[in-house]
Amino acid sequence: MVRGMSAASRLVALLFEEVANQNGYEEILFYLTTKRGRANLQSTVQHLLSLEWRVRKSVIMQMAREECADDEYMDNDERFFWEPALQKLKLPYVCFYAMDNESGDGGPARNIEELRSVLAGKPATPGMVVLWNDENHVVTSIQKDQGNLLPGDPIDVDSLEFVHLTPIHYFDLEN
């Protein structure tokens, strides 16, 4: 909550600053808070949502930890199970499952065999990037059918239960 209030205060200050920098009048921001200004506010939000943005790796890991806290949270969830955070942020992901598991919440399930050449033997790292369908994707969730996958462990595709990939352009993996 405090982080949210701090970000909100900073956003308001930056909005006032940018309006002034563009030779605008700050009254436009107050107008957005009125009933008459609601349509302009909605238009502004639509524009904001259309802009490119990236989620910092540290933020998505924190969100994954928080979203999994009520369930059977495991230390690896923040590293290798970002699905709840992706769902909260409404970010797309492609699901790959072992042949005996045919469903997924992220959309149509695909066979994990499609990823064999890009995953087999590679060390598991949080936010690892792989090339799939000629585009870079982030491995946003990966789970073995038994036991935990630890950072640095070589990936054995035959032991995986599922893998989720998300296009890299949604992430800032450096922070």
Q: How confident is the model at residue 3 (pLDDT cuts 50, 70, 90)?
A: low
CB-based contact 115:129 (threshold 8 Å): no
What is the pLDDT at residue 121? 92
> ∠24-28-29 over CA atoms, to 5°?
110
What is the pLDDT at residue 103? 52
pTM, to two decimals: 0.74
N-to-C CA span, the chain: 21
Q: How confident is the model at residue 23 (pLDDT cuts 50, 70, 90)?
A: very high
The per-residue pLDDT for range 116-136, each reduced to its tens digit, is 999 999 999 999 999 999 999
Q: Whose structure tokens read 């059918």?
A: 145
CA–CA distance, 92 with 55 (Å, rounded to integer) = 13
For residue 105, is pLDDT > 90? no
The per-residue pLDDT for range 31-83, each reduced to its tens digit, is 999 999 999 999 999 998 888 889 999 999 988 888 776 656 566 778 898 99
- β 94-97/109-111 pair status: parallel
What is the pLDDT at residue 52? 83
